[in-house]
Amino acid sequence: MLLCIVFRLWSVVGTEPRTGKSAIILGLMELLSRNIERVAFFRPLIDVSPGEFEIDNTINLIKHHYHLDYDYEEMYAYTVTEASQLIALGKHEELHEKILEKYNNLAAKSDFVLCEGVELEGAAASFDFDMNVEIGNNLGAPFLLVAGGQGKTVEEIVRAVKVYYEALAERSCDIAGTIVNRAAPEAVESICTRLETDRIVGEWPVYVVPDDESLGNPSVGEIARLLNAEILYGEENLTRHVRGFTIAAMQLRNLLGRIEYGSLIISAGDRSDVVLACLAAVESSTMPNISGIMLTGGLVPESPVQRVIEGFQNSIPIIAVNENTFEAAIRVDNIHATITPDNTRKINQALAVFERNIDMDTLSEKIIQTKSTIVTPKMFESQLLQRAKADKQHIVLPEGETDRILRAAEILTRREVV
């Protein structure tokens, strides 16, 4: 007897890097968790540096926020580096077999698996599209497309979605819907109308989520972590969002006029006058509230100044880095915001934005009530192999002359599992 187990699965892929996909993943997990008992999260490939104890932020976020009872190692198959090495060696079969094995192990413990694709920048962009498509099709997963809308016109967004839809259609991919994320608020209605009236998205649902500045801004804690900064004061306020930065390379009378709400003040560590002036500005009802202070050059305030700082209640974060002011400013400017497990403020905001702009009932019905019956050759082989290894015996197969049956039987025989 041949058993074919079909697990409910969606694959979320972005049209490009930095579409704000982690916020969409959060919203989808929230929706799924309300309706399904055991929801798992899986990333076939993660873009981290192997051997450096770096972990994938999205897996870490979803695992901790939703208290998923899976080991971190169960929730991904390979790093991008490992996958690239296997492909370079011509080991495509090994790559996809391991991904499918990891997915099947996770799916066996779950009622639904939400899968996220990988998006890379630069020359690797074509690699991630091909890999996402091949992996998604092998898993039999419908694709939910997340398109980036930040800084783009309506025409640019529509064109990008159309190109991606056509590429997926050429690969015989199942498409479950589209979410345009981080669009200009004033363009939301126009984007939706164009995608629907031009019949680009077909019968599948399309949603447009406006850009939310707070989700795109890094927190002081993120900046401190990425710059390996020492946290001197205000550790309890590291989740404050940084909207921009101001370099304090001027006299106080000029600096105070340039302080803006949510800014990070970057100053040489020996400018105690800047530190004290900024702390006083925070306490002032007539000055904009800054997010924090970064001291550069490996210098920190001396003891008399430290005593004054300690007298301020609920201090803003003050962090210190070894780089000089110019280098530190460049690094801060290159930081892209993420949503971390400890930033409940940003998590709650992401969920609120998702719920305000997504028809939760319609999407819930689409996800939960629709079961995929796709069984790809790779899925078929994997399921057959696992059962045969568990209990070696003769297996009588229906459709004994079809290609997929013959191919699977050959693999079983070659691997001596029957």
Tell me if 3 is assigned to some domain.
no
Q: Is 314 left (phi over 0), alpha (psi -120 to 50) or beta?
A: left
Tell me if 1 is assigned to some domain.
no
pLDDT, residue 341, reads 93
Q: Are residues 178 and 59 in the same domain?
A: yes
pLDDT, residue 368, reads 63
Q: Are residues 271 and 357 in the same domain?
A: no
Q: Are residues 30 and 49 in the same domain?
A: yes
Using an 8 Å Cβ cutoff, are 219 and 346 in contact?
yes
The pLDDT profile of the chain, 418 residues, written as one tens digit per residue, is 223 333 477 888 888 888 899 999 999 999 999 888 899 999 999 988 766 678 999 999 999 999 999 999 999 999 998 999 999 999 999 999 999 999 999 999 999 999 998 877 654 556 678 888 999 888 888 889 999 999 999 999 999 999 998 998 898 888 888 999 999 999 999 999 998 887 777 778 889 999 998 899 999 999 999 999 999 999 999 999 999 999 999 999 999 999 999 999 999 999 999 999 999 999 999 999 999 999 999 999 999 999 999 999 878 999 999 999 999 999 999 998 999 998 898 999 999 999 999 998 888 877 765 554 445 555 555 555 556 666 666 666 666 566 666 666 665 565 555 6
pLDDT, residue 3, reads 30
Q: Are residues 152 and 135 in the same domain?
A: yes
Local structure of 215: helix, strand or coil: helix
Query: How many domains is the chain built from?
Result: 3
pLDDT, residue 295, reads 98
Tell me if 408 is assigned to some domain.
yes
Q: Which CATH number belongs to the domain containing residue 259 in this structure?
A: 3.40.1390.20
Q: Are residues 194 and 210 in the same domain?
A: yes
Q: Are residues 266 and 386 in the same domain?
A: no
pLDDT, residue 1, reads 28
pLDDT, residue 202, reads 72
Tell me if 126 is assigned to some domain.
yes
The residues, any chain, with a CB within 8 Å of residue 164's CB and separated by 6 or more, are 15, 145, 147
pLDDT, residue 361, reads 84
Q: Are residues 152 and 193 in the same domain?
A: yes
Q: Are residues 197 and 145 in the same domain?
A: yes
Q: Are residues 21 and 112 in the same domain?
A: yes
Q: Are residues 364 and 381 in the same domain?
A: no
pLDDT, residue 35, reads 85
- State the residue range of the domain holding 410: 377-414
Q: Are residues 362 and 410 in the same domain?
A: no
Residue after which a domain boundary falls, among 311, 333, 355: 333
Local structure of 230: helix, strand or coil: strand
Strand residues in 165-205 grouped as ranges (E): 175-183
Q: Are residues 386 and 276 in the same domain?
A: no
Give all strands of the β-sheet with 292-296 in edge-to-edge order.
230-233, 318-320, 292-296, 263-268, 244-247
Q: Which CATH number belongs to the domain containing residue 15 in this structure?
A: 3.40.50.300
pLDDT, residue 199, reads 74
